Structure 1
Amino acid sequence: MIKILAVSDSHGNKDILNELALRYSNQVDHFVHCGDSELSSSDLIWGIMSTVMGNCDYDYQMNDEYRFQAGSKNVLVVHGHQHSVRSSIAGLKREAEQANVSLVFYGHTHIAKAEQEEGILFINPGSISQPRGTLMEKTYCIVTLDDQTATVTYYNDHHQEVVDLRKQFQML
């Protein structure tokens, strides 16, 4: 079983990132940040978390995307602003298919969301500092992967589960 903690759109809130790193350091296998941290690429948190550049990040040492292997699954992390995610995930889906990934993390919309299309799982952890949408709760998520399923569990900034957002998906 592999666990991935995903957070996005922290917009300068370094304290919450440090808190997540301390809280989950021995509990998750990967920490990913989906951009708009507004922190320097030399910040010490990036020794723990992997990040990508968002539209509010101006340190050009950051990459636009990050790829890694989680067990047998190929994973892609982007911010999403270059994929027009506010209107649809079609651009992300095209890139995911080309990159042969089965799991995509993205941010930008500040709205917590997990959905699956044609075997590809798209996960937005929401925003840990400036939520939007109907939920209006600061969120991050933990994805638990095994060979056949992915469980996406969302938490608020007080580390309490947002039960209505929990989803489980079959993975191909």
Structure 2
Amino acid sequence: MRVLIVSDTHGRHAGLDQALEEAGAIDMFIHLGDLEGGEEYIDAVVDCEKHMVRGNNDFFSGLPREEEFYIGKYKVFITHGHAYYVSLDPEHIREEGEARRSDIVMFGHTHRPFFDQKGGVTVLNPGSLSFPRQEGRRGSYMLMEVSEDGKITYEQRYLTAKQ
């Protein structure tokens, strides 16, 4: 199973289109908030199982603030992250994930990629496709693959420069 994880597109679709093209065939799509009206566009261009949550800039969105679901045997908790003070420290969201007995916690909001595995919990942020804040300022996303035997690999990816 191939899972494309994105965040913070802020109503801009060029980076999302590029990430979808670069990622190739996917089985699941996860957006971690701040779509800013992009739900309809995503529904039109992404043809697989989707999980999307609203962010702090999704004022009129009907999307849930957070969601829990399974990818294979792994319990996943997704949220935009602003309610868990992720800009200060990802430890609060890790603790929330542990309290929910999640194996994987995903958040956005900071516009910076983050990945950490500790105590049986994976915490990740794919960064932002539209307004990256990390060094180099290239839009970023994450590709997660779950093999048939249940092993997970994660790959942090950055949008390639268009010629």
TM-score normalised by the chain length of structure 2: 0.84
Q: Secondary structure at the match of 2:97?
A: helix
Give 1:154 deviation, angstroms.
1.9
| Higher RCO (C-alpha under 8 Å, 6+ residues apart) | 2
1:34 corresponding residue in structure 2: 32
Residue deviations 1:65-85, cap 9 Å, x none? Answer: 122211110111110100000
Residue deviations 1:63-112, cap 9 Å, x none? Answer: 10122211110111110100000111222122212221101111011111
Write out aligned runs for 1:37-56 (5 A). 37-39=35-37, 41=39, 43-46=40-43, 48=46, 49-56=50-57
* 57-66 or 142-151, which deviates more: 142-151
**Amino acid paired to 2:5:** A
Percent identity among equivalent residues? 29
Q: Secondary structure at the match of 1:82?
A: helix
2:16 corresponding residue in structure 1: 17
Residue deviations 1:38-73, cap 9 Å, x none? Answer: 1155x1414643211111111241110122211110
Unpaired segments ≥5 residues, structure 2: none
Indicate conservation of the 8 Å contact 1:52/1:64, yes or no. yes
**Amino acid paired to 2:52:** T
For these two proteins, the number of residue pairs brought into alignment is 157
Q: What is the CA RMSD across the aligned residues, in angstroms?
A: 2.3
* 147-156 or 131-140, which deviates more: 147-156
1:118 matches 2:115: no
Indicate conservation of the 8 Å contact 1:18/1:45, yes or no. no
Give 1:37 deviation, angstroms.
1.2
Give 1:136 deviation, angstroms.
1.9
Write out aligned runs for 1:60-139 (5 A). 60-139=61-140
State how far apart, in whole Å, the 1-side matches of 2:53 and 2:161 are.
24
State how far apart, in whole Å, the 2-side matches of 1:85 and 1:129 are.
19
Indicate conservation of the 8 Å contact 2:15/2:139, yes or no. no
Query: How has the CA–CA distance of structure 1 residues 40 and 10 changed in structure 2, closer, same or farther, with 3 Å as cutoff?
Result: closer
* 66-75 or 47-56, which deviates more: 47-56
Give 1:22 deviation, angstroms.
5.8
Query: How has the CA–CA distance of structure 1 residues 159 and 68 changed in structure 2, closer, same or farther, with 3 Å as cutoff?
Result: farther
Query: How has the CA–CA distance of structure 1 residues 55 and 21 changed in structure 2, closer, same or farther, with 3 Å as cutoff?
Result: same
Give 1:4 deviation, angstroms.
1.4
Query: How has the CA–CA distance of structure 1 residues 14 and 3 changed in structure 2, closer, same or farther, with 3 Å as cutoff?
Result: same
TM-score normalised by the chain length of structure 1: 0.80
Query: How has the CA–CA distance of structure 1 residues 138 and 18 changed in structure 2, closer, same or farther, with 3 Å as cutoff?
Result: closer
